[in-house]
Amino acid sequence: MTVIDEALTRLRQGRAEAPGPIGEEFRSHGIGFAAIGGPLEARWDQAVAELGACVGALGDGDAPVLSEGGVYRGSWIESTGTISAEVLTRFAPTVARETFLQFARHQRDDGLIPYKVTADGEAFTQIQIVTPLARSVWNHYLLSGRDRGFLAAMYGAMSRNDTWLAVHRDTRGTGGVEAFCTFDTGHDLSPRFWFAPDRCYRGDAARVDPASPVLPYIAPDLTANIACQRAYLALIAEELGDDPEPWRRKADASLTALWRECWDAADETFYDRAKDGAPVRIVSDVLLRVLACEVGDDDVFGRALERYLMHTGRFLAHYGFTSLAMDDPRFDHDFRRNSWAGPVNFLALLRVPQAFEAHGRVAELGVASMPVLSAVALADRFPQCLDPWSGEAGFTEVYSPSILWFLDAIERWTGILPRPDGDLWFTCLSPTRLDHGAAARAVASSRTIDGVHFESAADDDEVVVLRDGAVHVRFPRGWRVVTDRSGELRSVVCVAAGAVSGQLLRGSESIPLTLSPNERVDVRGLDVVSRSAPGFVAPHA
């Protein structure tokens, strides 16, 4: 028996299931994971169990929803209600749906969506938006069966919230979106907001302190959020039979304001513009936030990789992307508190794929992800923050963004990942080379899609994908094979940091390929129809 056979046998044996809605949804979607050797399997079991602990009703008679976890009791729109619910859709779509809808149900009469919902009710003292809600809603809609009633309810709520923001958060008439306090962007303790209050003036999200020496900021991340939000509201409007053009014009206006007010061409990054019109020259994860909102073309993203994101003196620590540039004298790597002044934050890491994958930069993402996966595999809990130097777990525990990051990473790099566009990703960057005892000898994953049960098992050399128990395709470590939902081949992508040569085998047929990092080969059957490669940026000082 090969180690791949061992992993498949282990996968099929089954283990104790998590109780409650999470266990039910994992079971109904055939989601499983097994590892031969190392701590990954135990950590996956812990992740599923603790994700279940983050799900429950906030009030009597309410449906179960996702909570932030750790010290955070309730659901936050910047995280739980957007990127976390979007990722959760792949694992527990019913819980994700209710998590989205609670923000529409608790919307204020004037259109403002609460920044959080807890057992004590909704809160409105800041806006606290990061990931575009409309994109998360749209992706949930595509992944979970196209529930038009859900889409219409969320569209109405998001449209009203857009009006509220346009009325109250553009006091300077620039077309940008303004930050009135630190918590508007969730940047606790960041030097970005030194000498700014934590909350909006007198607890009113529509008011900025008139005595503030620096606020309001024209905020690039808030402005990018709304630009992306409006682009997806156009898609939703079109899907529901409404006119998408007004939303597209608004999205274009927001993008124009972003580039005009916040882009620094010399530094090739985005800065807040303070009350006096001066740029706030602090380089933080604002750059990644803007890029994750689909701002900028491939050239802009490539320059960001070269100058900032893959630079080990700026954002790329060994254990993830830092929340402040490491060469800033204000950088503070203290990971034992809720801080965006330097440490690696899992909420930021959960958002990162939306920037990298959009530009085909999967190899760089893989390089940055593997040490973090090793750290999580060896940690004693799922924290909010990591020490960027050692990978040690920091602030809080049972934190749903880090739990979801881990589950996403297993699927993204060594499993089966369904996409909103209808594609399936089968990836083999198997965790057989993790450091410090975290590596497995082989791993296996499973997922049922449209009634078809897929299994994927990999060792250090190759992966075999099975469709209803029969071998479907085999390919070497370092590739991602993309199919449609029925399993028909679409493309092969190199996710490794070096060139990978091998055979793509399907039944008795095969095709030899050599792919460079990030190279994509589109196929029809086993015939190559096109090739493209954006290049690769290695970690550098």
Q: Assess contact for 126 and 187: CB atoms under 8 A.
A: no
Please name which of 413, 449, 418, 416 lies closest in space to residue 431, comparing C-alpha atoms: 413
Alpha-carbon distances of 194 from 212, 308, 330, rounded to whole Å = 11, 23, 11
Whether 246 and 238 have beta carbons less than 8 Å apart is answered as no
User: Which helix (H) or strand (E) covers residue 33, if one does?
Assistant: strand 32-36
- What pLDDT does residue 474 have? 97
Using alpha carbons, list the distances in angstroms from residue 192 to 185, 263, 492: 10, 16, 41
Q: Distance (Å, rounded) from C-alpha 129 to C-alpha 108? A: 16
DSSP codes of every residue in 211-272: T-SSPPEE-HHHHHHHHHHHHHHHHHHHHTTS--HHHHHHHHHHHHHHHHHHEETTTTEE-E
Q: Are 169 and 222 in contact (CB under 8 A)?
A: yes
74, 286, 313 from 308: Cα distances, Å:
34, 12, 8
Query: Hey, what are 24's tokens?
Result: 């039910």
pLDDT at site 17? 81
The pLDDT value given to residue 15: 79
Spatial distance between the Cα atoms of 382 and 395, rounded to a whole number of angstroms = 9
Pair 275, 192: CB distance under 8 Å: no
d(CA 438, CA 430): 12
β-strand pairing of 470-476 with 520-524: unpaired
Give me the residue label for tokens 């109250």: 168
Residue listed under structure tokens 């749209």: 138
User: For position 60, what pLDDT does the model report?
Assistant: 80
Token couple for 273: 């513009």
Q: Mean pLDDT in runs of 10 for the chain (541 residues)?
A: 97 86 96 98 97 93 95 97 98 98 98 97 97 98 98 98 98 98 98 98 98 98 98 98 98 98 98 98 98 98 98 98 98 96 98 98 98 98 98 97 98 98 97 97 97 97 97 97 93 98 94 97 93 97 97
Full DSSP string of 393-448? B-S-SSBHHHHHHHHHHHHHHHSEEE-TTS-EEEE---SSS-TTTT--SEEEEEEE
Contact indicator for 237, 244 with CB cutoff of 8 Å: yes
List the structure tokens of 160: 């009203």
- Of 66, 47, 79, nearest to 338 by C-alpha is 79
Q: Alpha-carbon torsion 252, 255, 257, 260, what sign? A: negative
Read off φ and ψ for residue 231, nearest 5 degrees: -65, -40
